[in-house]
């Protein structure tokens, strides 16, 4: 609505806390939206933080528009009008020399206009490297005063040597352009092996798309947040070092593609160490304001290193956990005895690298597939109406047949035709996480033949394992170039999403038996990273009498095979400490989650009326690591690792997805 003042279109007042929260959220959304612009020409945060006296703001806005017209530049302008501050973000490509000159000329003109009306720049965020040169030219007397203060209080130049107070003509700090072609040759290295094309890409994306993905990371540092309410990078929260931050992976690959780093360094263990700080939870991909696909960049880094060096034997074996589980199921009585025997677990840790303290699920062999064959669902369904190809992953197939049976039973009870194709193999997420992309491709090609055929016949592809959905929808398009890929990824979803869609269409039977229980629901990371967040919590609330608590206490820390490895065992427990504390101290009767890896991590947090032997075994995993509960790491004033017997009714749900 038009107000009385000329040029004012709308005025809103914050009358209460809700209105105030809206305005704060609006300011944050503006910046994150600008970060998400994907184009060569995008709003550049360079001419920022101009401050003028509030009465002079209308005059300065007019001057600003005139400067933009003269420079023929389009800009996004927002700010805090009450105290005369404006942020100007011109749409320009600073990687181009001509555009850099235009940007400098624009900044010079705008800063001069700000000074002319009694204003300045760098009022909120400081000068930094990008504004110091302009400040030196426009405020020479203040510059001399600052240099004298620097000389008096830091005569040796110890603090930030050569920065800000150094040479004003040193040049503006623009990032190096991420080359879309090969980088300049490295001295002493053959031309064919010098450029990044010698090792990259290992994925199916084009060089332009890869460079655009790297360049989309603007270094804003959102991925370094440790604020509550989000789940951005659980690894960084547990180890707040720059190399653990998601942006470190983008910066590393950018240095290679820009020619500032020897491409042969991708085969170094130091580079692999940085890549290994990512355990493939995909939270950065879903919460990054610029939408940078960090997991894909990590796949490039790990894939290049694995192709040159392979992996230590125990990590190579652990990445083939599906094969190990199949072998264990083939000798089920002996293997299950070994899982419960301390001496054999010591041997397993030394040979396979699986942490001795980790509680492992028992092997079930091929029970589910035999059950499915007897039920006749290993052949294409003859039912009319909706039909589902149930994609099995390792846990449901090799360890928990009741989960798979429960899901099939729920589908059939609701009139859904189910097909479990015996030709399918594991999704291959452990191989992707390790960097064995050739091994993952072999599995992907096998599964694509099965899945593409099913989609052409009208099946939906449904998984009870969220990590399998992520692998099929995110990783397979980067591993395999297939004409049917788009149709397969569009038809793939997790079990709870499928059931919720069925409910919204009125097709889900709601004749549930009342359950008087309190349940803590944990949303797995891979379910949160989906295009549409999983509706498992809403499904649980359909059950009469069930009180669902959905307090988000972060990642479980298991991250598939990451938490199985002995070298990551303690880090895994640290990451999952908050969630385990919520399980023990939340006053709940049970826990529910779709992720099998999260179940493995949470199971020792409690059990349904556990026996004395069970409680003692659970204490072996958590209470033996009391040094992990240091208050500086736990961030929780309560005793996070209290005796699990204080909450004897906590457990994880066997078939939460169903």
Q: Phi-psi bin for 428: left (phi > 0), alpha (psi -120 to 50), beta?
A: left
DSSP state of 538: H
- Geometric angle at alpha carbon 361, from 359 and 367, rounded to 5°: 170
Write the pLDDT tens digit of every residue in 534-593: 689 999 999 999 999 887 788 999 998 999 999 999 999 999 988 888 888 778 888 899
Would you state the pLDDT for residue 95?
76
Residue with tokens 């060096």: 309
CA distance 370 to 192: 53
Contact 111, 134 (CB under 8 A): yes
Q: In which band, very low, low, confident or very high, does the pLDDT at 176 lie, cut at 50, 70 and 90? A: low
DSSP assignments along 259-302, one per residue: TSS-GGGGGSHHHHHHHTT--S--HHHHH-TT---HHHHHHHHH
Q: Exposed/middle/buried for 313, CB within 10 Å: 0-12, 13-18, 19+? A: exposed
Residue 78 host element (H or E)? strand 75-80
Write the pLDDT tens digit of every residue in 406-465: 999 999 999 999 999 999 999 999 999 999 999 999 999 999 999 999 999 999 999 999
The HSE-up count of residue 292 (CA atoms within 13 Å, CB side) is 32
> Does position 510 have pLDDT exceeding 90, yes or no?
yes
Which range has the top average pLDDT, 190-199, 560-569, 605-614?
A: 560-569
The HSE-up count of residue 633 (CA atoms within 13 Å, CB side) is 19
Q: What CA–CA distances, in Å, run from 630 to 105, 228, 402, 440, 635?
A: 54, 19, 38, 39, 9
CA distance 120 to 213: 35
Residue 325 tokens read as 């589980």
Q: In which band, very low, low, confident or very high, does the pLDDT at 480 lie, cut at 50, 70 and 90? A: very high
Buried b (16+ CB within 10 A) or exposed e, 290-300: bbbbbbbbbbb
CA distance 34 to 47: 14
Reference 368, options 333, 387, 393; nearest CA is 393
Contact 578, 554 (CB under 8 A): yes
DSSP assignments along 83-141, one per residue: GTEEEEEEEE-TTSHHHHHHHHHHHHHHHHHHHHTT-EE-TTT--HHHHHHHHHHH-HH
> Does position 610 have pLDDT exceeding 60, yes or no?
no
Write the pLDDT tens digit of every residue in 70-128: 989 999 888 888 889 898 989 888 778 888 888 889 999 999 999 999 999 888 777 87
Handedness of CA 363, 366, 369, 374 (dihedral sign): negative
Would you state the pLDDT for residue 590?
85
pTM of the entire structure? 0.80
Contact 324, 317 (CB under 8 A): yes
Task: Give me the helix-helix angle, 342-352 and 332-340, nearest 10°.
Answer: 100
DSSP assignments along 584-619, one per residue: HHS--SEEE-S-HHHHHHHGGG--SS--HHHHHHHH
> Does position 634 have pLDDT exceeding 60, yes or no?
no
> Does position 3 have pLDDT exceeding 60, yes or no?
no
A 10 A CB-CB count for 49 gives 21
For the chain, what are the domain ranges?
Answer: 1-28, 37-153, 219-309, 517-646
CATH architecture of the domain with range 37-153: 2-Layer Sandwich (3.30)
Would you state the pLDDT for residue 96?
81
DSSP state of 362: P
Q: In which band, very low, low, confident or very high, does the pLDDT at 242 lie, cut at 50, 70 and 90? A: very high
Name all contacts of 346-355 with Cβ < 8 Å and 24+ positions apart.
349/566, 351/314, 352/314, 352/317, 352/318, 352/324, 353/312, 353/314, 353/315, 353/317, 353/318, 353/565, 353/566, 353/567, 354/318, 354/564, 354/565, 354/566, 355/563, 355/564, 355/565, 355/566, 355/569
Residue 91 φ then ψ, to 5°:
-85, 110
CA distance 357 to 564: 9
CA distance 315 to 309: 12
């Amino acid at each position: 609505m038009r107000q009385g003042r000329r040029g004012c279109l709308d005025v809103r007042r914050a009358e209460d806390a809700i209105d105030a929260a809206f305005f704060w959220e609006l300011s944050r959304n503006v910046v994150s939206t600008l970060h998400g612009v994907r184009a060569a020409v995008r709003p550049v945060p360079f001419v920022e933080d101009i401050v003028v006296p509030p009465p002079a703001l209308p005059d300065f806005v007019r001057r600003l528009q005139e400067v933009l017209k003269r420079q023929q530049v389009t800009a996004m302008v927002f700010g805090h009008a009450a105290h005369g501050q404006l942020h100007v973000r011109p749409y320009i490509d600073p990687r181009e020399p001509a555009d850099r000159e235009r940007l400098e000329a624009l900044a010079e003109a705008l800063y001069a206009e700000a000074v002319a009306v009694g204003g300045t720049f760098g009022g909120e965020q400081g000068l930094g490297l990008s504004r110091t040169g302009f400040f030196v030219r426009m405020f020479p007397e203040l510059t001399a005063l600052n240099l004298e203060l620097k000389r008096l209080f830091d005569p040796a130049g110890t603090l930030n040597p050569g920065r800000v107070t150094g040479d004003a003509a040193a040049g503006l700090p623009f990032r190096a352009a991420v080359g879309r072609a090969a980088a300049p040759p490295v001295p002493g290295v053959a031309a064919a092996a010098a450029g990044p094309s010698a090792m990259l890409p290992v994925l199916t994306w084009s060089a332009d798309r890869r460079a655009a993905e790297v360049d989309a990371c603007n270094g804003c540092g959102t991925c370094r947040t440790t604020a509550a309410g989000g789940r951005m990078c659980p690894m960084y929260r547990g180890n707040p070092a720059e190399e653990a931050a998601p942006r470190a992976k983008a910066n590393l690959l950018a240095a290679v593609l820009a020619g500032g780093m020897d491409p042969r360094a991708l085969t170094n263990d130091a580079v692999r160490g940085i890549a290994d700080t990512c355990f493939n939870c995909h939270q950065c991909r879903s919460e990054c304001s610029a939408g940078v696909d960090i997991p894909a960049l990590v796949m490039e880094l790990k894939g290049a290193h694995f192709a040159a060096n392979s992996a230590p034997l125990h990590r190579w074996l652990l990445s083939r956990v599906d094969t190990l589980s199949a072998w264990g199921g083939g000798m089920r009585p002996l293997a299950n005895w070994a899982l419960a025997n301390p001496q054999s677990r010591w041997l397993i840790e030394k040979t396979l690298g699986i942490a001795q303290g980790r509680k492992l699920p028992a092997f079930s062999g091929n029970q589910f597939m035999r059950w499915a064959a007897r039920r006749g669902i290993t052949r294409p369904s003859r039912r009319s109406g909706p039909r589902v190809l149930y994609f099995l992953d390792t846990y449901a197939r090799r360890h928990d047949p009741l989960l798979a049976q429960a899901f099939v039973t729920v589908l059939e009870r609701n009139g859904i035709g189910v097909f479990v194709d015996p030709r399918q193999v594991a999704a291959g997420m452990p191989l992707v996480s390790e960097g064995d992309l050739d091994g993952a491709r072999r599995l992907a090609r096998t599964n694509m033949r099965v899945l593409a055929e099913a989609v052409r016949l009208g099946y939906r592809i449904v998984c009870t394992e969220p990590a399998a959905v992520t692998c099929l929808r995110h990783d397979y398009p980067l591993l395999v170039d297939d004409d049917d890929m788009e149709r397969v990824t569009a038809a793939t979803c997790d079990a709870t999403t499928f059931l919720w869609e069925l409910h919204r269409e009125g097709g889900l039977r709601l004749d549930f038996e009342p359950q008087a229980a309190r349940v803590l629901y944990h949303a797995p990371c891979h379910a949160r990273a989906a295009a549409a967040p999983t509706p498992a919590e809403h499904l649980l609330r359909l059950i009469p009498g069930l009180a669902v608590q959905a307090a988000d206490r972060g990642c479980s820390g298991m991250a598939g095979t990451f938490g199985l490895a002995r070298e990551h065992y303690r880090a895994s427990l640290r990451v999952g400490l908050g969630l385990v504390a919520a399980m023990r101290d939340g006053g709940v009767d049970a826990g529910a989650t779709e992720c099998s890896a999260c179940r493995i991590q949470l199971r020792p947090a409690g059990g349904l009326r556990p026996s004395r032997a069970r409680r003692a075994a659970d204490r072996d995993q958590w209470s033996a690591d009391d040094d992990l509960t240091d208050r500086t790491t736990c961030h929780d004033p309560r005793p996070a690792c209290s005796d699990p017997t204080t909450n004897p009714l906590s457990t994880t749900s066997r078939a939460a997805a169903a």
